[in-house]
């Protein structure tokens, strides 16, 4: 069946959009999805019971940066800066600018802490972004005067609580402008319970860009182009995946960013080996590397690595809703979302989660 954008729309009561996280990370709700006829309401801590000792949880260890800055042009006009990517030098960045008139190359912008930032011109790789040069390392500037870029559907300015809770407890590598939100449910107590059961952990890195909130504008999904994001998968994680599959365990992605990293790694490995569909054991050993991905997963995609998925509830008409529909089946996801709305689950970044099994 060919799906269109309109197939991924649904009505969501505004009060179900979570504006704050659960009081305790791991005490959010979990919808256990066994298929469209078997939906079970659980707590997130029940995830321990849904996993086996042979299973491998794969987390995205990217860290959210305080990516939003405010500045003024020489004319006094206000500029909002959203740093999308740091580099190529530590004092340079690619950024989105919200401003009445786009700055010319060479224009100096003054930040709120009175430091100057020079606009170098358009980013040749991304025509909606500008290249900026700071007087010192970008991360240092962001740590001093940047603001946490909460999603647009969260209606309050960032608070001290957000600085803690809109970040996973295992975040390591700065670079994301949005949190890998499925990971927000994990805390040290839950990790201890998972470890006691013998469930394994591994990590990948994908730096989430603001394109994660970009709407799909054409009803024909084939015309949509995903934004590029940098990701990496190290040799240790590749070997853990290899061992898990060899022992008959499941690779369980924590969040769609982990899944996209794993599946784009699988595409690279299968392309090199000339294979289609799920990867063989020998091919899994070649997953490691770092690359840019713009993988767009829609129903009909053949998954190569991931067997189960922990994920939050996603926006109507979003690429992430299309991804989970590809993973668990379109009818199953429609039933799951209807069930979640009827049972007053909390949606989006600070909301509740689902446990999905891959469509056979």
pLDDT tens digit sequence for 305-340: 999 999 999 999 999 999 999 999 999 999 999 999
For 105-162, write each residue's pLDDT tens digit.
999 999 999 999 999 999 988 888 999 999 999 999 999 999 999 999 999 999 999 9
One DSSP character per residue, 344-356 reads T--BSTTS-EEEE
Residue identified by tokens 């006009």 is 77
Per the CB < 8 A criterion, the answer to whether 181 and 149 are in contact is: no
pLDDT at 140: 96
pLDDT at 212: 75
Residue identified by tokens 């809109």 is 166
Per the CB < 8 A criterion, the answer to whether 28 and 140 are in contact is: no
Q: Is 165 helix (H, G, I), strand (E, B) or coil?
A: helix
pLDDT at 326: 97
List the one residue out of 136, 85, 84 whose CA is nearest residue 111: 136
CB within 8 Å of 5: residues ≥ 6 apart: 216, 218, 219, 220, 221, 317
Per the CB < 8 A criterion, the answer to whether 68 and 82 are in contact is: yes
How does the average pLDDT of the chain come out, rounded? Answer: 93
CB within 8 Å of 180: residues ≥ 6 apart: 59, 60, 62, 168, 206, 208, 254, 255, 257, 258
List the one residue out of 330, 262, 267 whose CA is nearest residue 299: 330
Q: How far apart are CA 312 and CA 31, in angstroms?
A: 10
pLDDT at 112: 92
Q: What is the pTM of this model?
A: 0.94
Q: How far apart are CA 186 and CA 194, in angstroms?
A: 10
pLDDT at 360: 85
Q: Is 166 helix (H, G, I), strand (E, B) or coil?
A: coil
Adjacent-strand bridge partners of 229: 293
Q: Is 65 left (phi over 0), alpha (psi -120 to 50) or beta?
A: beta
DSSP state of 338: H
Q: Where are the alpha helices (DSSP H) in the chain?
A: 47-50, 138-145, 160-165, 188-197, 235-246, 256-273, 281-284, 319-328, 330-342
Beta pairing class for 251-254 and 173-176: unpaired
For 262-272, write each residue's pLDDT tens digit.
999 999 887 65
Mean pLDDT by 10 residues, the chain (360 residues): 94 97 97 92 98 97 97 94 94 94 93 94 89 96 96 94 97 96 98 97 95 84 90 95 94 98 91 58 76 95 96 96 97 98 98 96
Beta pairing class for 353-357 and 308-312: antiparallel
Residue identified by tokens 């799951």 is 336
Cβ–Cβ contacts within 10 Å for residue 318, how many? 18
List the one residue out of 58, 46, 32, 34 whose CA is nearest residue 250: 58
Beta pairing class for 68-72 and 78-86: antiparallel
pLDDT at 286: 76
Per the CB < 8 A criterion, the answer to whether 358 and 31 are in contact is: no
Residue 84 tokens, joined = 């999308």
pLDDT at 272: 55
Domains defined for the chain, CATH in brackets: 5-64+166-357 (3.40.1780.10), 68-145 (2.40.10.240)
List the one residue out of 337, 302, 351 whose CA is nearest residue 8: 337
DSSP state of 246: H
pLDDT at 282: 60
């Amino acid at each position: 069946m060919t799906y269109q954008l309109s197939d991924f729309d649904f009505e969501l009561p505004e009060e179900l959009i979570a504006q704050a996280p659960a009081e305790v990370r791991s005490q959010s709700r979990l919808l256990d999805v066994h298929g469209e006829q078997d939906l079970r309401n659980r707590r997130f801590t029940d995830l321990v019971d849904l996993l086996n000792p042979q299973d491998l949880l794969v987390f995205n260890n990217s860290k959210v940066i305080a990516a939003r800055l405010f500045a003024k042009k020489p004319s006094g006009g206000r500029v909002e800066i959203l740093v999308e990517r740091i580099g190529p030098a530590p004092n340079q960045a690619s950024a989105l600018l919200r401003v009445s008139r786009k700055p010319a190359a060479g224009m100096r912008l003054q930040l709120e802490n009175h430091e100057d930032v020079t606009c170098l011109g358009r980013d040749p790789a991304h025509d909606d972004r500008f290249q900026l040069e700071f007087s010192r390392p970008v991360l240092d500037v962001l740590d001093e005067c940047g603001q946490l870029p909460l999603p647009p559907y969260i209606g309050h300015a960032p608070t001290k609580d957000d600085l803690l809770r809109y970040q996973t407890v295992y975040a390591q590598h700065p670079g994301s402008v949005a949190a890998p939100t499925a990971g927000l449910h994990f805390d040290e107590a839950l990790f201890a319970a998972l470890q006691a059961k013998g469930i394994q952990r591994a990590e990948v890195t994908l730096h989430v860009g603001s394109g994660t909130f970009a709407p799909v504008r054409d009803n024909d999904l084939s015309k949509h182009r995903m934004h590029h994001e940098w990701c990496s998968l190290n040799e240790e994680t590749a070997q853990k995946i290899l061992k898990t599959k060899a022992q008959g365990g499941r690779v369980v992605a924590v969040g769609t960013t982990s899944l996209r990293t794993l599946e784009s790694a699988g595409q690279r490995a299968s392309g090199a080996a000339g294979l289609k569909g799920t990867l063989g054991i020998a091919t899994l050993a070649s997953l490691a590397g770092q690359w840019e991905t713009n993988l767009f997963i829609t129903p009909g995609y053949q998954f190569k690595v991931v067997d189960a998925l922990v994920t939050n509830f996603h926006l109507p008409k979003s690429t992430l809703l299309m991804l989970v529909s590809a993973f668990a089946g379109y009818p199953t996801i429609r039933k799951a979302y209807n069930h979640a709305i009827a049972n007053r689950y909390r949606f989006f970044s600070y909301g509740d989660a689902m446990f999905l099994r891959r469509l056979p």
